[in-house]
């Protein structure tokens, strides 16, 4: 079963999720993975760029969790995995609203991990470096990075890869959602080729 909803629309998202739970019988795992990203210097961030990024990347995740947590409680517990980013663990330049939203997800996950532990619900974040997807290959950075070359190393991975593959993130999510991770909660799990270790 599949359904389409905008994470900014809490009512539509809740309706789509409710229908899925009715059709499938229960909800055990939630993967909150919605994001947009633009590249620009701080002074080129418009009100629209800021609001769209926060609405999708942070508030959209909140809407997803608001809609899903009651179903997880009704199922007797489960796992929530939120996709953050290396930008949720360090201050990557030229991505201001994205970094703010991704840091916010860490706080959200850690808070809910504490609040929901007695409901047998685990909450963790995954923090990819660049991933070989269309979003991981965004354009618009021409000239920006060159304007401040001393910041270039902050984007470099320790391992000699520019991007990881989507399956690397999938495998991390599968682990965190599985019973093998039954005592893992409130964790920020980097899958970043050593990026946050630099």
Residues marked as catalytic: 98
CA–CA gap between residue 144 and residue 187 (Å, rounded): 33
What's the Rg (C-alpha) of the chain? Answer: 17
Cβ contact 131:162 at 8 Å? no
**Dihedral (CA of 42, 43, 47, 52) sign:** negative
CA–CA gap between residue 197 and residue 154 (Å, rounded): 10
């Amino acid at each position: 079963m599949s359904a389409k909803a905008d994470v900014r629309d809490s009512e539509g998202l809740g309706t789509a999720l409710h229908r899925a739970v009715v059709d499938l019988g229960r909800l055990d795992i939630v993967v909150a993975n919605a994001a947009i990203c633009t590249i620009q210097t701080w002074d080129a961030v418009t009100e629209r760029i800021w609001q769209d990024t926060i609405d999708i990347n942070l508030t959209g995740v909140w809407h997803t969790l608001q809609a899903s947590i009651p179903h997880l409680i009704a199922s007797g517990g489960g796992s929530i995995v939120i996709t953050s980013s290396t930008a949720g663990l360090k201050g990557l330049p030229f991505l201001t609203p994205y970094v703010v939203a991704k840091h916010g997800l860490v706080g959200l996950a850690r808070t809910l991990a504490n609040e929901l532990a007695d409901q047998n619900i685990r909450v963790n974040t995954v923090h990819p470096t660049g991933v070989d997807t269309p979003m991981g290959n965004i354009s618009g950075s021409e000239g920006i990075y060159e304007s401040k070359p001393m910041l270039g190393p902050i984007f470099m991975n320790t391992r000699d890869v520019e991007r990881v593959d989507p399956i690397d993130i999938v495998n991390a999510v599968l682990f965190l959602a599985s019973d093998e991770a039954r005592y893992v909660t409130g964790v920020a799990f980097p899958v970043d080729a050593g990026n946050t270790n630099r």
